[in-house]
Amino acid sequence: MSYALSSALQAAVYGALIADPALQALVGDAVYDAVPKGTLPATYITLGPENAVARADRSSAATRHDFVVSVHTEADGFQTIKDVAASVSDILVDAPLTLSRGSLSTLDFLRAKARLSTNGQMRQVDLWFRARLEDD
């Protein structure tokens, strides 16, 4: 297997996040692959790092993708950011994503880390997910 399905996975994840009305109520359309220049919203989401490992066997051409979705906020306390992170998790876990190439077998939550930025002005939650993809 190759890295060929990575772009299709990212597009499907992005599409699922921006299409969800509950998440839109929390962050609007502030879901980014690359953070835009200029003034940012108080709370936004970024698509982040990814690790991909071949998991092919005799019956399938599969790849495991571990990827990060991060939530950022200027809001005081962690309640706001945890609400947004929970919404992201609810949207993605076991989501029936349709990919432009290949298919999604599973999508699971792995772990999360909530933290303050080094200057103490921003809070961030990194959510790690694991997807198993099949190249049909």
pLDDT in tens, 75-125: 999 999 999 999 999 999 999 999 999 999 999 999 999 999 877 889 999
- Whole-number Å distance between alpha carbons of 128 and 2: 21
> pTM of the predicted model, to two decimals?
0.93
Residue 98 phi, psi (nearest 5): -105, 125
Q: Where are the domains of the chain?
A: 6-134
Q: What class is the 6-134 domain?
A: alpha beta
- 119 Cβ partners below 8 Å, 6+ apart? none
- At 17-39, the pLDDT tens digits run 999 999 999 999 999 999 999 99
CA distance 74 to 124: 9
**Nearest CA-CA partner of 113 in 128, 100, 93:** 128
pLDDT category at 48 given cuts 50, 70, 90 is very high
Which of 81, 71, 73, 91 minimizes the C-alpha distance to 21?
Answer: 91
